[in-house]
Every structure is written in structure tokens, then in C-alpha cells.
Amino acid sequence: MDAGSRKASGIALVISDVDGTLVTDDKSLAASTIAAVKRLRAAGIGFSIASARPPVGLRALAAELALDLPMGAFNGASVVRPDLSTIEERLIPEAAAREALQRLEAEGLAAWVFAEGAWFLREPDGPYTDLERRTIGAEPRVVADLGTLMGKASKIVGVSRDHTHLATCEARIGAALAERATVHRSQAYYLDVTPPGLDKGQFVTWMSRHLDIPSERIATFGDAGNDRPMFAHSGFSVAMGNAEDAVKAAASTVTESNDADGFAHGVARFILP
């Protein structure tokens, strides 16, 4: 929809994606974003985040934004408190995890596994590993055999610099795993495999029940395909200016990009009374 075409009313909770939305491309929080979250709190509007990141990758954000509500990690498959203690957690079924790993590698993708609170891979200098280190503030553990982790995996990621190829992999692997796992790109270069039946939309529903806030009073912000379920489960949704066209089309309205204070502009223009 056109930016400025709608304004929300009666919003009691805002849930935002992180990468490509809440943070800039260099993975930092703009001063305008921090101020926008404070303005939401001052207006009596709750704020939380839903991200493909592991819980450890949310620690700095929770501190800097003084978050006090549960957060959704691994695309909503894990719900954690701001201190990162676990409220709910689901793992990928082992058989589905093994097939996912095989299919990712058969497609020529680098594979990462997030399990037991850690990040595992085979090649420490593979594509986007430096970016992930900066993003989540953690070092990977190098292992010879990722298969030993398949009964413990919270998320498996296929990584590629060939973004077009990764998009086609999303469709093929998603169809192959069907109801046995959730498959979404969280970035143009990351293809996430997470537990079945759980996504950011389910996290919105969980928060709605947990806080007793009707879904129509929840607003969501996002930029990627894995944010569309979040849009579908909230009463008002805002796509970032840097989002793909399909994501923009699924949202109630569109704001500026994440590198142009898009979150802050969206909060001021569409959310705050």
C-alpha cells in the first residue's frame, strides 16, 4: 500500500522484526529508533521483537532498548525473557532436521546449525560468517559433523552469496519439508529452517494471549518474507521501504527504509496517537 495511506488506532503493542527493520544495515540501533521505543512506552504502548536471530543475538538489543516483555527468537520458535531465560522452546524434529541439512548441502549452500544455545558450522571463514559474528555477538563452534546436532537443532540455516539461487531453494526445500518444518528466508542470503507450525505470526498470537491484547490492537513492522505471517496475525502492519514488493503488498502501509529512520518515522506517522 502507499505510504501514509492508513493510520492505526488503539494500538496497545508493537512487535518488530530486527534485521532490515529495527537496526540499520551495519546492525546498529539508530538514536531515532531508541527514541521511538521510548515514545511508545511513554504512550503506554508495549514493545517487543521477533527475530530469526538466536536468543544470544537479542541480548544487546534488550539492554539498549530496556525491553521488559517476552521476545521471539528463531522466528518465534523460542520465546525468551529479556534476560534470555526460556519461556517456551521447540526444536526441529530430528528426521526433518536431517533431511533439511542434506537438502541444503545438496543445493551447494553453506550450512549452519543453532543448537543448545550455540552456533555450529564447518567452515569458520565461509560466506557471511563475519556478518553473523557481528550480528549476534558470538563466535561459532567449528565441528566436523553437523549431523550429530540434528536431534538438538533450534534452527538450521542455508547460506549463499547467490541470492537468486537461495530464493529458488526456499521454494523447493519448503515444498519438500512441507508440514515437517518451517522454511523462510530471513535475509536475501539466509534460508532458515525452524520447527513446524511456528513462525513470527504464531509469536504475535502468543503475545496476544499472554498480554490479553486483541490482535487488532497489535502493530507489526518487518521487511522480509518471514515477517509476512506476523503481518497476517496483527491488526496493523508496516513494511520497511527496503522490503521486497511482495512484503510491501502484504502490509497495511509502508515506511522509509531501515537506513533512513524507517522505524521511527513509521511509529510517529502510523502508530502514536
Distance CA 90, CA 76 (A): 9
* pLDDT above 70 (res 4): no
* pLDDT above 70 (res 52): yes
CATH entry, 13-89+198-271, from 3.90.870.10, 2.130.10.30, 3.20.20.410, 3.40.50.1000: 3.40.50.1000
The answer to whether residues 47 and 16 touch, using CB atoms and an 8 Å cutoff, is: yes
In this prediction, residue 3 carries a pLDDT of: 44
What pLDDT digit, counting tens, does each position of 112-133 carry? Answer: 999 999 999 999 999 999 999 9
In this prediction, residue 5 carries a pLDDT of: 56
The answer to whether residues 152 and 116 touch, using CB atoms and an 8 Å cutoff, is: yes
More confident call, 6 vs 186: 186
Class of domain 94-194: alpha beta
The pLDDT mean for the chain works out to 95
* pLDDT above 60 (res 84): yes
Where residue 7 falls among pLDDT bands split at 50, 70, 90?
A: confident
In this prediction, residue 89 carries a pLDDT of: 94
Q: What are phi and psi of 251, to 5 degrees?
A: -95, 160
Can you give the residue ranges of every domain in the chain? 13-89+198-271, 94-194
Largest CA distance in the chain: 54
Contacts of 56 (CB under 8 A, 6+ apart): 84, 117, 136, 137, 138
What pLDDT digit, counting tens, does each position of 209-268 carry? Answer: 999 999 999 999 999 989 999 999 999 999 999 999 999 999 999 999 999 999 999 999
Of 5-9, 69-73, 101-105, which range is least confident? 5-9
pTM of the model: 0.86
* pLDDT above 80 (res 54): yes
* pLDDT above 70 (res 1): no
* pLDDT above 50 (res 2): no
What pLDDT digit, counting tens, does each position of 163-188 carry? Answer: 999 999 999 999 999 999 999 998 89
Where residue 197 falls among pLDDT bands split at 50, 70, 90?
A: confident
Distance CA 62, CA 194 (A): 23
Q: What are phi and psi of 126, to 5 degrees?
A: -70, 180
